[in-house]
């Protein structure tokens, strides 16, 4: 790709990128930590019944714990952390982030009320905010633009696999804990099975956080601009409004639908088909991991289109895959056989997971290097508010207050496809021209 004269001495040139070996080591470590983060974030989905019973909660309150309680600090912390990532060592920010969310995840196991659990979930969100924002920035600076989509797809695959692993491994763990019943722990006292699971899955992160010091931080442009606030980032985004509406709102909507499916599918299988957590964990886990394993295919296709001159490749491909995924997402809850439901769920996830990596990679490719941390932070803020707060809460709200029957959670998920997912495809279409112009002006 051509470069302007002011870029010639910047770390954006190919010679200043880390070696491919170091770049992929970085992705591998962040991949592992992303698995951990999704495990701590989503383990609650397998324990909805026991938590509702012990704390006396409704579906809507559970959806608040899975969504807004986590998402508010996740999003709010993204702004100051974005500035910190552009000023200070990104590895240190990542280490602190992993440590904070691990402590908070373990503290979920000490909660005895809705308010206490909400506070602990907020702490998980605060920690994971720094990890997501910092990882996008580091991966974006570790590879040249024509290779970023593949690298980002592999990294994001760790998070999506984490959502599968939490079901695959977490299902039997939750099932075993439920069978064992309450236990008396030293210092902590009597803990319910779901409390024990939170502690057991949260604590390992305190050691794994040190892995961020095993890779070298990639170079980045250092200038007075990097010390500025968000004014320059906002000015840049205003020049390409449709691109960033598609990037922030479009991908936020796609994530909202995806997260809604991930968090409420286990409850659907329990309520409608009477499945046990152990079976749900294994089956959903395998389906999720199998879908995630194909994410590099999406990245490779987009990189190939990009090299052939389709500079709007990420938005074009996501528009296609979102439209293709919708029929499977709807059909999954119109069939009576749960195994067919799982098959449709796998097809839906295989296609919709194209959006998981294309959103952050799009933000990285179109952003000037010295703005990547702050634009990544705004991306996390926008998509987090829409996806994490809106996706789970929308499904719980419709189930409780519109349909009025917890067994109709599948209908709520169908509604989410129509009113949340499909508008994302329209935004991707509207943003394509703006993305082409942004890349032409900032090669």
Q: Is the pLDDT of residue 165 over 90?
A: no
Over 80: is that where the pLDDT of 352 sits? yes
- Give the separation between CA 278 and CA 257, rounded to whole angstroms: 25
What SS3 class is residue 413?
Answer: helix
pLDDT at 229: 66
Res. 228 pLDDT band, cuts 50 70 90: low
Query: pLDDT band for position 143 (50/70/90)?
Result: confident
CA distance 368 to 260: 33
End-to-end alpha carbon distance in the chain: 7
CB atoms within 10 A of CB 443: 11
3-state secondary structure labels for all residues of 248-287: HHHHHHHHHHHHHHHHHHHHHHHHHHCCCHHHHHHHHHHH
Kindly tell me if the per-residue pLDDT of 12 is higher than 50.
no
Widest pairwise Cα distance in the chain: 67
The whole-number average pLDDT for the span 245-257 is: 94
On the question of pLDDT at 4 being above 50, the answer is no
Contact 176, 33 (CB under 8 A): no
Give 176's pLDDT tier (boundaries 50, 70, 90). Answer: confident
More confident residue, 328 or 306: 328
State pTM to two decimals.
Answer: 0.72
Query: Can you name the residues that pair with 190 across neighbouring β-strands?
Result: 184
pLDDT above 80: residue 146: no
Structure tokens at 433: 């021209």
Domains of the chain (ranges plus CATH)?
Answer: 15-213+225-441 (1.20.1250.20)
Reading the block at residue 350, the tokens are 């295989």
What Cα–Cα distance (Å) separates residue 85 from each residue in 17, 123, 136, 363, 376? 18, 19, 11, 16, 10
Residue 225 confidence class, pLDDT cut points 50, 70, 90:
very low
Q: In angstroms, how far is CA 321 from the centroid of its own chain? A: 18
Q: Can you spell out the DSSP letters for 141-154?
A: HHS-HHHHHHHHHH
Strand partners, 189: 185
SS3 track for 19-32: CHHHHHHHHHHHHH
Q: Is the pLDDT reported for residue 14 higher than 60?
A: no
Average pLDDT over residues 212-229: 66
| Residue 127 in this model has a pLDDT that exceeds 80 | yes
Distance CA 212, CA 196 (A): 27
pLDDT tops 70 at residue 273? yes
Q: Are 136 and 379 in contact (CB under 8 A)?
A: yes
- Taking alpha carbons only, the member of 161, 105, 212 closest to residue 353 is 161
Spatial separation of the C-alpha atoms in residues 53 and 439, rounded to whole Å: 53
């Amino acid at each position: 790709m051509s470069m302007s004269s002011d870029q010639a001495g910047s770390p954006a040139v190919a010679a200043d990128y880390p070696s491919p070996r170091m770049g992929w080591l970085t992705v591998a470590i962040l991949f592992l930590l992303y698995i951990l983060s999704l495990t701590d974030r989503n383990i609650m989905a397998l324990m909805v019944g026991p938590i509702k019973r012990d704390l006396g909660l409704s579906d809507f309150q559970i959806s608040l714990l899975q969504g807004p309680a986590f998402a508010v600090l996740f999003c709010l912390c993204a702004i100051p952390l974005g500035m910190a990532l552009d000023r200070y060592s990104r590895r240190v920010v990542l280490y602190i982030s992993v440590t904070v969310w691990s402590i908070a995840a373990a503290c979920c196991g000490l909660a005895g009320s809705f308010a206490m659990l909400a506070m602990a979930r907020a702490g998980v969100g605060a920690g994971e905010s720094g990890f997501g924002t910092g990882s996008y920035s580091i991966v974006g600076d570790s590879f040249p633009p024509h290779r970023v989509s593949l690298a980002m797809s592999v990294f994001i695959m760790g998070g999506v696999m984490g959502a599968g692993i939490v079901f695959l491994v977490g299902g039997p763990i939750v099932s075993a804990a439920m069978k064992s019943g309450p236990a008396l722990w030293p210092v902590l006292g009597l803990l319910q099975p779901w409390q024990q699971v939170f502690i057991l899955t949260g604590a390992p992160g305190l050691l794994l956080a040190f892995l961020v010091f095993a890779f070298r931080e990639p170079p980045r442009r250092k200038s007075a601009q990097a010390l500025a606030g968000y004014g320059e980032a906002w000015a840049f985004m205003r020049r390409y409004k449709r691109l960033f509406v598609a990037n922030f709102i479009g991908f936020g909507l796609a994530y909202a639908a995806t997260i809604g499916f991930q968090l409420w599918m286990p409850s659907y299988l329990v309520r409608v088909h009477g499945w046990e957590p152990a079976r749900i964990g294994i089956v959903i886990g395998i389906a999720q991991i199998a879908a995630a394993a194909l994410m590099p295919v999406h990245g490779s296709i987009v990189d190939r289109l990009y090299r052939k001159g389709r500079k709007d490749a990420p938005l074009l491909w996501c528009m296609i895959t979102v439209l293709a995924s919708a029929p499977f997402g709807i059909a999954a809850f119109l069939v009576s056989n749960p195994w067919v439901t799982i098959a449709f769920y796998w097809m839906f996830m295989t296609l919709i997971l194209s959006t998981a990596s294309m959103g952050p990679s799009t933000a990285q490719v179109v952003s000037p290097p010295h703005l990547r941390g702050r634009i990544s932070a705004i991306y996390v803020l926008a998509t987090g508010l829409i996806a994490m707060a809106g996706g789970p809460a929308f499904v719980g709200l419709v189930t409780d207050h519109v349909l009025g029957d917890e067994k109709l959670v599948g209908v709520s998920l169908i509604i989410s496809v129509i009113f949340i997912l499909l508008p994302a495809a329209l935004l991707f279409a509207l943003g394509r021209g703006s993305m082409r112009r942004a890349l032409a002006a900032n090669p």
